[in-house]
Amino acid sequence: MINATSVPVITSQGCSIPQIGFGTSQLGDCAELVCHALKLGYRHIDTAWKYGSEKGVGEGIRASGVPRSEIFLVTKVSHEYLSKDAFAKSVDESLKNLQVDYVDMLHVHWPTIDNIPMAETMTALALAKQQGLTRHIGVANFNIALLEQAMSLCPEPIVSLQAEYHPYLDQSKLLAFCQSKGLTFTAYCPLARGRLFDDPVLTEIARNKDKSIAQIVLRWLTQQGNIIPIPRSSNLERIAQNLDIFNFTLTPTEMAQIHALAKPDGRIANPAGRAPLWD
């Protein structure tokens, strides 16, 4: 039986995060899906201003009947709004969309493209925490150099990095840095947007374990330690399967086989003008 207490919690710098989340990128009006996910036992919901799903997430939370205090809610400020005033307005708009007083994690979604000083953005991010609008702060899609810069300039501790990660993308350098700094790593596109569902290696491991390929990949991610995948799906059965990944273990050989699937061209999210020089 899947339930919220079955999901491990990753703790870093006083921030405790359920080790799997429900992602809402490209889901738009997702109220019913979010409600369903919460009733299944998800307690970590990921959204962003850029996704256009914040209103649906807020509606789904209220419809679920799950107390707000039990939900780890994440949103992000888009790269267009990283100046001081625009940042504050974006946070206010997100809270209104979600119909909540605070989020549990606020991320900068992408590095700035308008030469806004990093110090200005990090001060605005820290201020949101100091004002009680978010309990914790992080960044998304930063490389190691940008992460180091952000951590040195931010008046409040950065506890999380969100970045793309799946078996076809080697993120070993970035993961090692996060582990050395005590940062949690939230993995978006954990299933490579379906590109790995025909992979013969994953197919064989899934057959041997009597699990779906998605379950194998999500277990591979969570078994690495500080990694928190946030798969998205509009299929109710798959939403349930994606949560049910903590009752089996992959062997060291199986873990190594999946690590070996990384490809030089495995990255999916790489928008021109926004993406940094990846590690």
**pLDDT tens column, 213-242:** 999 999 999 999 899 999 999 999 999 999
Residue 33 has pLDDT above 80, yes or no: yes
Q: Which two tokens stand for residue 51?
A: 């996704």
Q: Which residues are catalytic?
A: 51
For the chain, what are the domain ranges? 17-194+227-243
Question: What's this model's pTM, rounded to 2 decimal places?
Answer: 0.95
> What is the fold of 17-194+227-243?
TIM Barrel (3.20.20)
Query: According to the model, what pLDDT value does residue 112 have?
Result: 75
| Long-range interactions of 259-265: CB distance < 8 A, separation 24+ | 259/167, 260/201, 261/167, 261/168, 261/196, 261/199, 261/201, 261/202, 262/167, 262/168, 262/169, 262/170, 263/168, 263/169
Tell me: is residue 109 an annotated ligand-binding position: yes
The whole-number pLDDT of residue 103 equals 98
pLDDT for the residue numbered 1: 47
The pLDDT score that the predictor gives to residue 3 is: 62
| pLDDT score at 5 | 62
pLDDT at 2 over 80: no
Q: Determine the average pLDDT of the residues in 26-37.
A: 91
Q: Are 103 and 73 in contact (CB under 8 A)?
A: yes
Angle at 154 between CA 47 and CA 52, to 5 degrees: 15
Residue 27 confidence (pLDDT) = 85
